Amino acid sequence: MRKKLIAANWKMHLVPGEARALIAALMADLGRETFTDREVLVAPAAILIPEVKDALKQSPIMLGAQNMFYEEKGAFTGEISPTMLAAYGVTHVIIGHSERRHIFGESDEMIGLKVRAALDHRMTPIMCVGETQEEHDSGRALEVVLRQMEGGLGSLSSDEAGGIVMAYEPVWAIGTGRTATPEQAESIHGAIRGAFNERFGHSPAQIVRILYGGSVNADNVDSLLSRPDIDGALVGGASLKADSFARIVRARTAK
């Protein structure tokens, strides 16, 4: 059985004191409890990573990053390298988030280079895919998702593929309050798993975790995670409050 992964994407929010307070409140709410069937991850802004790493001491919560560049070093002003993240104990990196694609113009090719770099530096990429409102309305959601998936994963071997995390986040549902229905999300998740099976084989397809992201909150998380191909959540705004994120962490899931 695949462990669920509940990942907080703090985006461009919080300053050090606020980040520490949020981690303290979250740890107090969860009571340092450990889960056998799920993992929990927080991904702060890069400048907050040292602060959050310190705040997470003795906690089972893992430390992630929201982005990285694919080169180890060089004249890339403003970028963060995989070696920098690894030095702070970062275990997971969100790659290809829709905001990186649509605001910052990241291509499928660039995202593929970042996925490759994360794996080469022993970090788990959380590779995001998802369609815009126009693509959704024109019936091209699956076409877009599979194209993004192929562009990002093209360099992977079958042995590597099972070790990544996928995240389906329909762009039209991010920060809008709209959420794909559990049936819509499960349909896309199932197609992603099917494409994994065709590209990498049965075993990686059964191992890979596919998260849902897009206005996940305490009210809808149970219905989403009850679906067999939804292996967790990538949570934005609802992760900025300890009580709502702790409730999401405790989501009821399919047996």
Between strands 38-43 and 124-129, the pairing is unpaired
- Active-site residue, selected from the candidate residues 97, 121, 136, 189: 97
Rounded distance, CA 16 to CA 12, Å? 12
**H helices present in 154-241, as ranges:** 158-161, 182-200, 202-207, 221-225
97 flagged as catalytic: yes
Structure tokens at 146: 């599979």
Rounded distance, CA 77 to CA 75, Å? 6
| Bridge partners (DSSP) listed for residue 209 | 165
Rounded distance, CA 67 to CA 132, Å? 21
169 flagged as catalytic: yes
Q: What are phi and psi of 94, to 5 degrees?
A: -75, 125
- Active-site residue, selected from the candidate residues 51, 169, 186, 189: 169
Whether 216 and 185 have beta carbons less than 8 Å apart is answered as: no
Q: What are phi and psi of 54, to 5 degrees?
A: -65, -40
Q: Which residues are catalytic?
A: 97, 169
